[in-house]
Chains A and B, each alone.
Chain A
Amino acid sequence: MAAPATLTQASPPERKSVSPRLSHLQLLEAESIHILREVASEFERPVMLYSIGKDSSVMLRLAQKAFYPAPIPFPLLHIDTGFKFAEMLTFRDEMARSVGAELLVWRNEAAIAAGTNPIALDTKRCCGLLKTQALLDALRHYNFDAAFGGARRDEEKSRAKERIYSFRDSAGQWDPKNQRPELWNLYNARIHPGESIRVFPLSNWTEMDVWQYIHEEKIPVVDLYFAKERPMYIRGDALLPIEQTFVARLGEKPQLVKSRLRSLGCSPCTGAIRSDADSIPAIIAELVSFRSSERANRAIDHDQEGSMEIKKREGYF
Chain B
Amino acid sequence: MAAIAAPTFSIKDFLAGEREKDLLRFSTAGSVDDGKSTLIGRLLYDTQSVYEDQVRSIQGKGTTAPGQIDFALLTDGLRAEREQGITIDVAYRYFSTARRKFIIADTPGHEQYTRNMATGASTADAAVVLIDAGKGVLVQSRRHAYIASLLRVRHVLVAVNKMDLIGYDETGFRAIERDFTLALNQIAEETGNPVEATFVPVSALVGDNIVHRSTAMDWYEGPSLLELLESLPPAEETRTAPFRFPVQRVLRPDHTFRGFAGQIASGTIHPGDKVTVLPSGRSAKVARIVTYDGDLAEAPAPLPVTLVFDLELDISRGDLIIAADSKAIVAKSVQASLVWMNQRPLERGRRYLLKHTSQIVPAFITAVEHRTNIATLAREAADTLEMNGIGVVAIQLLRPIAVDAYRDNRGTGAFILIDPETNSTVAAGMITAAGSAEQIGAPVDTWGRITPGEREARWGHRGAVLELSGPAELIDSVERSLFSIGVVSTRIETGDEAFLLHPGLMPIVTNLQVQSGLLALVVTSNEGSVLVARAEGHELTLDAANPGQAIAAIHRLLRETAIFIPSEKAGL
Contact = CB atoms under 8 A, between A and B. Distances in A.
A211 B116 CA distance: 31
B293 A192 contact: no
Interface string A278-293: 0001101110111111
Interface string B328-369: 000000000000010000000000010111100000000000
B90 A22 contact: no
Interface string B482-515: 0000000000000000000000000000000000
A30 B293 contact: no
Nearest to B300: A18
Contacts of B290: 13, 68-69
A115 interface: no
A81 B302 CA distance: 40
Interface stretch (B196-204, B221-229, B377-385, B409-417): B409-417
A5 B310 contact: yes
B545 interface: no
Interface string B4-21: 111001011011001111
Q: Which of B302, B353, B548 has the most CB of A within 10 A?
A: B302
Interface in A135-183: 153-154, 157-161, 176-177, 179-183
B80 A28 contact: no
B255 interface: yes
B92 A204 contact: yes
Interface stretch (B173-181, B421-429, B442-450, B534-542): B421-429
B93 interface: yes
A64 interface: yes
A192 B304 contact: no
B103 interface: yes
A176 B12 CA distance: 42
Interface in B291-331: 291-300, 302-304, 306, 308-314, 317
A25 B18 CA distance: 9
Contacts, number: 274
A30 B263 contact: yes
Secondary structure of the B contact surface, majority rule = mixed
A278 to B, nearest CB: 13
A241 to B, nearest CB: 17
A243 interface: no
A70 B253 contact: yes
A172 B99 CA distance: 41
B418 interface: yes
B295 A177 contact: no
Contacts of A182: 119, 425
A292 B287 CA distance: 49
Contacts of A154: 93-94
B94 A206 contact: yes
Interface in A66-118: 66-71
Given A68-B292, A70-B252, A291 B21 contact: no
B372 to A, nearest CB: 18
A4 B89 CA distance: 50
Given A2-B258, A13-B288, A33-B304, A191 B96 contact: no
25 contacts: A3-B255, A4-B312, A5-B284, A5-B312, A6-B309, A6-B310, A17-B297, A22-B303, A27-B22, A37-B261, A41-B358, A69-B259, A71-B253, A157-B77, A160-B91, A183-B428, A186-B356, A188-B423, A193-B556, A206-B96, A209-B101, A274-B1, A277-B2, A284-B11, A289-B2
The 4 lowest CB-CB distance pairs between A and B, nearest first, are A13-B295, A14-B294, A306-B79, A157-B77
